[in-house]
Amino acid sequence: MPKKVLVVFALFALLITGGTSLSLADSQTEQLELNGKTLSTVTVNGKPYVLVNQVAQASGGDVHKNSNTFVIGSRLDYILKKGVIRVGTTGDYKPFTYFNPKTKEFEGYDIEAAKLMAADLGVKITFVKTSWPALMEDLHKNKFDIAVGGISRNTDRQKTAHLTHPYINDGKAPLIRQEDKEKYTSLGAIDQPDVTIGVNPGGTNQKFVDANITKAKVVVIENNLDIPNMVAEGKVDVMITDSIEAIYYASQDSRLYAALTDNTFTKSQKGYLMHRGDPVFQNWVNLWMEEMELNGEFDRLKEKWIYNKGEYKER
């Protein structure tokens, strides 16, 4: 490509990314980082330039020409054009997301919701496996278009990503054995030297435990799905998790008890995790969520997946 054309592309790329956070690597490397993507650059008169299509790809969108103007579309436009939405999920957090080893498929509250979202978009859906420690990194590497699965809204995540409107209220609460429900009636009663707490790494559960538990023994367990059964079998005494997860597991196993769910240690809400800087796609998802709420879809998913009260009827 002639240098003149390249420079025009580059100048346009830099103009359209106004307000987007760019960080330049060492000028000698001739690289530029945008939204976690490393782009190739060409240095002209000591200044780096990059092709506009690379900027579009790093932003999760696409570039097309309209008359004499190059336009970078929203991720929403790219999803509709491609005909598929990529949804990141951990698969280890019932009742929101669970990878069923028998069916080799994801299932749960948010998996159902994501399928409804894809249907309303008129596209196919591809689920992308991630983990709590790698969730933000995988988002920044553009491995998926949106992440679902019981993700707590907080200001720390909002620093480098975008969280949608909330769709359910929640808070940290202890999952304990039924026989201990008169014993563990407060955080102080739990935080004792003779108590063992099981926690999964990388998420808000571990952050809460690290910040509030000083006396009890804390055991980090890689697979979140293993902890409730470990509580039931007496291998650990307490699992501090989101109240909804505690309610779910207690409804599935009579040995377990979801304590303090009416007076949780924290107050939080669940939302979906998205890339920053794309108000078109963000607004569509938020409006879709509002319609889900108005039409009672979230309530029906709650009845099916959290309270185990019958099957959800497809629309």
Cis peptide, bond prior to residue 101, ω within 30 of zero:
no
Predicted pLDDT of residue 41: 75
How large is the greatest C-alpha to C-alpha distance in the chain, in angstroms?
77
d(CA 279, CA 134): 24
CB 308 within 8 A of CB 250: no
State the pLDDT at residue 72: 62
Q: Look at residue 224 in the predicted model and tell me its pLDDT.
A: 87
Q: Residue 125's closest CA among 139, 142, 105, 109?
A: 105
CB 111 within 8 A of CB 97: yes
Give pLDDT, residue 113.
98
Edge-first strand order for the sheet with 97-100 is 92-93, 97-100, 105-107
pLDDT by 10s per residue, the chain, length 315? 444 444 444 444 444 444 444 444 444 446 666 555 676 777 776 676 666 666 656 655 565 555 555 556 789 999 999 999 999 999 998 899 999 999 999 999 999 999 999 999 999 999 999 999 999 999 999 999 999 999 999 999 999 999 999 999 999 999 999 999 999 999 999 999 999 999 999 888 999 999 999 999 999 999 888 999 999 999 999 999 999 999 999 988 999 999 999 999 999 999 999 999 899 999 999 999 999 999 999 999 999 998 877 554 433
Q: What is the distance between the alpha carbons of residues 88 and 140, in angstroms, rounded to a whole number?
A: 12
Nearest CA to 190 out of 171, 166, 214 is that of: 214
In this structure, which amino acid lies at residue 9? F
The pLDDT value recorded for residue 4 is: 42
pLDDT at 17: 45
pLDDT at residue number 300:
96
**Confidence at residue 34, expressed as pLDDT on a 0 to 100 scale:** 59
**In angstroms, rounded to a whole number, what is the distance separating the alpha carbons of residues 300 and 120?**
17
